[in-house]
């Protein structure tokens, strides 16, 4: 019986790994990242105005920028667009997750 439990455990692990491959972008993590790092100025959800008028809502970014290219831009770094915008660079995982979230927001 003990061997049977190991086989079942290995099968479950294989299914979970296939369903969530290592390195796959996570829109859920991107949403959390946006809430923690961007929401002070940007509307990061599917509705509402940005707290800072000059900061575009995240749901409109796909209209302004090619979202598929945005991960590379976020990794290389963004220089401030206005005085309140900080310069920043994201690590590749956060950039991929944030981009996945932006794609999920797009109409």
Residue 12 belongs to some domain of the structure = no
Q: What are the angstrom distances between the C-alpha of 14 and each of 11, 59, 93? A: 5, 35, 23
Q: How confident is the model over 45-87, as pLDDT tens digits?
A: 999 999 999 899 999 988 888 888 888 888 887 776 667 777 8
Residue 73 belongs to some domain of the structure = yes
Q: Are 51 and 41 in contact (CB under 8 A)?
A: yes
Which CATH number fits the domain that encloses residue 91? Answer: 1.10.760
| Number of domains observed in the structure of the chain | 1
pLDDT of residue 57: 95
d(C-alpha 90, C-alpha 71), whole Å: 9
Residue 96 belongs to some domain of the structure = yes
pLDDT of residue 80: 63
Residue 9 belongs to some domain of the structure = no
Q: How confident is the model over 16-49, as pLDDT tens digits?
A: 333 345 457 899 999 999 999 999 999 999 999 9
Residue 1 belongs to some domain of the structure = no
Q: Tell me, yes or no, if the pTM score tops 0.75.
A: no
pLDDT of residue 24: 74
Q: Identify the domain containing residue 67 by its residue range.
A: 27-105
pLDDT band at 92 (very low <50, low <70, confident <90, very high): very high
């Amino acid at each position: 019986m003990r061997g049977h439990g190991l086989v079942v455990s290995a099968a479950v692990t294989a299914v979970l790994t296939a369903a969530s491959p290592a390195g796959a972008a996570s829109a859920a993590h991107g949403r959390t990242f946006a809430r923690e790092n961007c929401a002070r100025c940007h509307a990061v959800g599917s509705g509402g105005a940005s707290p800072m008028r000059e900061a575009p809502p995240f749901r409109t970014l796909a209209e302004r920028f090619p979202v598929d290219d945005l991960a590379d831009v976020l990794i290389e770094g963004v220089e401030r667009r206005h005085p309140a915008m900080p310069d920043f660079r994201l690590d590749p995982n956060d950039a991929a997750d944030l981009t996945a979230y932006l794609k999920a927001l797009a109409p």
